[in-house]
Every structure is written in structure tokens, then in C-alpha cells.
Chains A and B, each alone.
Chain A
Amino acid sequence: MRKIALLCSAFLLSLTTAFAAPVEITLAYPVAVDAPITTLLKGWSNDFMAKNPDIKVTLVFSGGYPDVKTAVQTAIQGGAKAPTLAVMLATDVYDLVNAKYVDNLDDLVAKAPGGPAFVKDFLPAYMGNSTYHGKLYSLPFQRSAVVLYYNADLLAANKIAVPKSWDELGKAAQALTVDAGKTRWGIEIPTETAYWTFQPLAIGGGKNVYTDDVTVNFNAPEVIDAVQFYNDLSKKYAATPAGVQVAWGTSTQNFAAGKTAMIVHTTGSLAGILKGAQFKVGVMAVPGKKPGTLASVTGGGNLYLTANHSPEERTAAFAFAQFLLDPSRVAAFSAATGYIPHRTAATATPEYKAWLEKVPQAADAVKALASAGPELATQNLGGVKTIFNKYLQAAFNGTQSPKDAMDAAQKEATKALADFK
């Protein structure tokens, strides 16, 4: 009798397991990148579901980083379930944690197979934005850096050496400008979202624009110097359009079409640029003020686990994150996009080696990381960024002197950060 009862319970248990609803998780991804990312992610999520039939993954592709962040915010504020995983700006960590939009990952790392080793393998340069108060909140996903792309054939044809300082950069850009930019500009630096592409100049000048989450250095002499150099590129060297350059989308096309000799842009555009350019493309960190110095800045998005999910959903989401961030997938993702492989193990994969063989510039993009400072990441980031951009653009457009603009930016930003000190 007992045997029959046991058999019945075992049968019932197997039935419940067989018919149990799969754990459903969602990944929200900002698709506004010039690469076939949707195909990659769809393929990988299908592979993951094939290996984990008890987990159902839904991918949600939406515009850019702000769209994903807004979707998470509105869902949580409205009491609905936010996408379980979301790729959002790495630098948003403080606001996201303060507002309780994202969840801590430490317990999941501890219990996941190979969890601690997995986290330890990420490049330290990209882990800076992942922790807050010593706790882990996100994993690097699509990380980039700002670099200088140059038309190597054009430089060689004009017997110009690859620039190694601000002065050399200005002079090279000046020499490569044709017909006051009507035929070709020497250099373009998109500055509609001014702070990010400006940061390599500030770092190259000797000081990053911020020190920690509540301290900014907007009016440091080195930063003011960098603003002056940006202005000099148009005023002194006549090698770039004057003022704010609304050129994020057009500068890569101008460069690939030979209408601009050099551009400052993200490594995320590498694949697109190489596809369009009919010449040898050089990639390097942006030359610094002192000869021989180089500077870059990190950027890009991290993978966050959003708040208010069940233990099963959290575990499933972390398993999917681990799957996506497997070294071979990280390398394949980089090869498809130009984003920098952020795991040490990824650089040992056949995918990465094949990519380097095919695209030697990728190694230069990775090399730029050695001279990269962290992207502006403070508390109240939206407010601080708006202030900094406002005054940077005022200085670029000449409506304020670099010093006056940066003094005003420092004053306003300090006020915006006062509540966090």
C-alpha cells in the first residue's frame, strides 16, 4: 500500500514538474546601435531556452538607453513588473540604486556556479560603475571607449605622422583641411551630447571632469585648458566646424566618405566605419596635451537586474546574464559591433583571435583602454550632465569664455550635488 502511495506521489510530482509553467524573464535592450545586434540576441536567447526549457526569455528592443530606463522607471512607479534584465547606461548606477529601480546581485553571484570567478574576470576599467557602497549592481555588457579614427592613407599621402599631442593633432587637422571644410574637414568632434566626447580632451589635459560621485572638477585649470583646445581647433587651426557640432550621426559617414580626415567617436562605430571606408582606417586614443600622452574615456551600457522579482526570476535572469556574457559570446558580440571585449577570458577565445586577424584596428581600440578615464558618473547624474553640457556648449559657441562657463558649471553642479554629501 505504501509503495503504491509513493509511486502515485512520484507520478504526481513528475506531472507537476512536467507541466509547471516556465519561469518568464524579459530583457530590455536599447537597439539604437549600427550593428546586427537583434539577430545575435535572438539567436542566443533561443539557444539559452533550448538548454533551459524551464525558462522563457522575451526580448524587448527599444530605442536608446533613455527609452529603456524610462520603461523600467514607469513600470516600477506604476506598480507593474519591469523587464527583468535591462541594458542601461553604466553611469546611471547611483540614481538607479537610490531610486530602488535595480537589485543587488551579490547573493546570485555567490550561489551561481562559477559566480565569483565569472565576476572577477571582467576588466577592472569596466567594473568601476558596477558597484555602489561595495555592492554589485550590474555587469558590463556593451562597453565602449572614445577613440580617434584617422584616415591613415591620407596622413601617409600628405607625409603627416600620426599625431602624438594636441599641437600635432591641431596641425595635422589643419594640414588635412581642404577649402575651409567645404571639401574636407581635418577633424570632427560631435558635441551635441558634449560631455562624453569632451572627456578625452580633459583627461588628456591632465584632469578628468570628476573625482567621485559627489565631486566634479569642471573649473579645474586643466579642464578649462581642454575647452580652449576644442575652440582652438576651429579658431587657431581652422580645422573643424566652429561651435557645437551636431555630428554624432553624420561624422562617421563623413569620415567614411573621405569628407573628414579624423573623427573622435565611440569604438561602437568601428564595424560601421570599416564597412563604409575605402581606405586604411587608423584607431587610437586621443592625443593628450603633452607629447606622447594619450587619453580616452570609457562608456556604454551595463546589464542590470531590475527590482521586485521573485527568487526564481532572479536566478533565471542571472543564469541568462551569465550565458550572454560567456567569453565566446562576448568576443562574438565585439566582433559584430566594435564594442570592447570586457572579459579577460574573451580575449583568449578563437572568436576574438579571428576578429583581430580580420580587423587589426580592434586591438588598437582595446589598447585605447589603457589610457581611459571613467565616464562622468555622479549622483543626480541627469541634473549634473545637463548643467555641464549647457556650459560646455556655451563655451564652444563662444557665448561665454571657457573660464566663465566652467566656473558657472562648477557652481551649479556643486549645488545640484549638495543633497548627496
Chain B
Amino acid sequence: MRKPRLLPYLLVAPTLVFVVVFTLLPLGEALVGSLFKQRLNIPKFQDPVFYGLGNFADLFGDGDFLQVLANTGVYVLVLVPLSLLAALVLAFLVEDKLKGLGVFRLALFHPTVLPMVSAATVWMFFFTPDYGLWNQGLHLFGYAGPQNWAGNPGLALGALVVVAFWKNVGFFMLFFLAGLQGLDRSVVEAARLDGANGLRMTWSIVLPLIRRQTVFVTSIAFIGAFQTVDHVFVLTQGGPSGLSSLLLYHLWQVRFERLNVGQGDAVTVLLVAVLLAFTVTNFLWGESREK
């Protein structure tokens, strides 16, 4: 009889402990908490009382929360594809081993190292009506629309997308660049000899070969889009009138401003459910294509 091997379990143990303590236990606690009504600032609701799915019903019956969901949906669906596309294009542009390209790579990557709070503060000044750099830049391209980006109902969410896009593209580009530089040159050369070039080469050869990077970058871009909240605090505070409030900002408001523990847990459960569904689907899709 074979002796059970201990080493693999020992190697996994530290990570497992971390995942259990910092992810699974809090998640379990949030899951249980979401079924209870508990509001710390209302004496009669300070102790948790079983509420079933009441917190979820309250959330979906609240116009503000539906607005937050809509904002988050638009934010993610615009930001993620745009960032990925731009990152891929930039990776192609800076892939060549030309002299001086390092400077461009650095320029494109540098926003990544800034904390989001700093990036948002910088952009707060860029967005200043009339003389802000962003408006001045747009003016050169003939833009004559409203300039009050962070305070305008139609532009505030867009302002958040712009900041996150600027901050993240360089980071995503790095993964695509690594993928491109690790391509099997013989496959590319063979395709070239077969007459593939330009779009055909990109679509049929390069993109399938960097699929793993694409799946990974898509996952972190999607999860990151849900997780970023600092720019909301700095630039718009969810305003005007809640039109730029995102899920995580709303969670902070519910949990820490309104001290509504049960509802905060319910928002957490929904957030994790969405992220888990996406990550699993994305992974399975990537794996199925691999086979």
C-alpha cells in the first residue's frame, strides 16, 4: 500500500489557511449576515434578527440600488473592453525591439504605479472646467460640449471610466506584451510563409496563441473594475444624484455610513456572486478553447 504523500499538502497549507481565514470565513459570515436584519445605529435593530431574504428584497426594491447596478454595469461594460483593446494595441506598438521604445513603455506604464487616490486627484485638476488639461485637449479636437465632467449627470460616470482607463491600460499592456514576446516565432514565420499577414495573422495566429494571457487579463480587468472605488471617493462621491455611484462605493455607504450590517452583507454576497460567476465562466471558456 502506498504511503500518503504529505509534502503536497504541506506546500498548499499556507495558502489554504490564508484563503480560509481571509476569504472563505468572511464570505460565510457575510452569507449568514445577509439573512439577518441588523442596524447598528437603531437601538431596536442592534441585535441581529432573522430576516430571510428581506435584505435582498429591500435592495432590489430600492431605486437607488438599481441605479447603482445600472451604473456599475455601464462602467464595467465600457471600461473593460476599451482597456483590453487599447492595451492590446499598445502592446503591438511597443513590442518591436526598436531603439528608444523603452521610454514609451515606461510612459505608458507609469500611471499604474500611482495609487488610485493620486491618479484621481491629478485628474480632478485635469477635469477643471475651462482651463483643465482634459477640456483643453478635447477642445483641440473640436469638442464643444459640457465641461463639468465630475458634476454633470451625463458625464460623471464617463469621468470615472477615463481615470480608470488611464491608470490601468499600461498594466494590462504589460501582460499582452509578455505574451507577444513569448510567442513561438516558428509558428509566426510558418504562417507568414503561408501568406498570412496583417489582420489575418493577428486574428488567426497571434490572438489564439495569447489566449491564456487574454483570459487572465480579462479576469483581472473585470474584477478590478468592480473593486476600484478610490476614484469615486475623490472625484464624484457617487454624484451627482447617485449617477456615478458604483457597487463597492454603495457597499461602503450602506455598511459604514448607514451602519446597516445586514444589507451591507447582502451587497457583499451579490458582489462576490457576480465576480465568481464571471471568473468561473471565463476560466471554463478559456480551458474549453484550449482543448
Contacts and interface: CB of A to CB of B under 8 A. Distances in A.
A107 interface: no
Contacts, number: 98
Interface string A375-419: 000011111011001110110110100000000000000000001
Range, interface on chain B: 20 to 34
B130 interface: yes
Interface of B is mostly: loop
B241 A397 contact: yes
A191 B42 CA distance: 30
Contact of B151 (A192, A249, A420): A192
Given A246-B124, A249-B124, A420 B237 contact: no
Nearest to A386: B253
A174 interface: no
B148 A193 contact: no
Given A181-B130, A382-B253, A386-B242, 18 more contacts: A66-B256, A95-B259, A99-B41, A192-B150, A192-B237, A243-B148, A244-B152, A245-B148, A246-B151, A246-B236, A249-B125, A381-B257, A382-B259, A383-B257, A386-B257, A390-B64, A393-B240, A396-B240
Q: Which 5 A-B pairs have the closest CB atoms?
A: A382-B257, A244-B151, A393-B240, A246-B150, A99-B40
A183 B96 CA distance: 46
A380 B241 contact: no
A417 to B, nearest CB: 11
Interface in B104-131: 121, 124-125, 127-131
Contacts of B240: 243-244, 393-394, 396-397
B153 interface: yes
B44 interface: yes
Interface string A204-220: 00000000000000000
A86 B64 CA distance: 32
Interface of A: 66, 69-70, 73, 94-95, 98-99, 181-182, 191-194, 241-246, 249-250, 259, 379-383, 385-386, 389-391, 393-394, 396-397, 399, 419-420
A397 B148 CA distance: 11
Contacts of A397: 151-153, 240-241
B241 A95 contact: no
B239 interface: yes
Nearest to B240: A393
Contact of A380 (B41, B150, B256): B41
B43 interface: yes
B239 A393 contact: yes
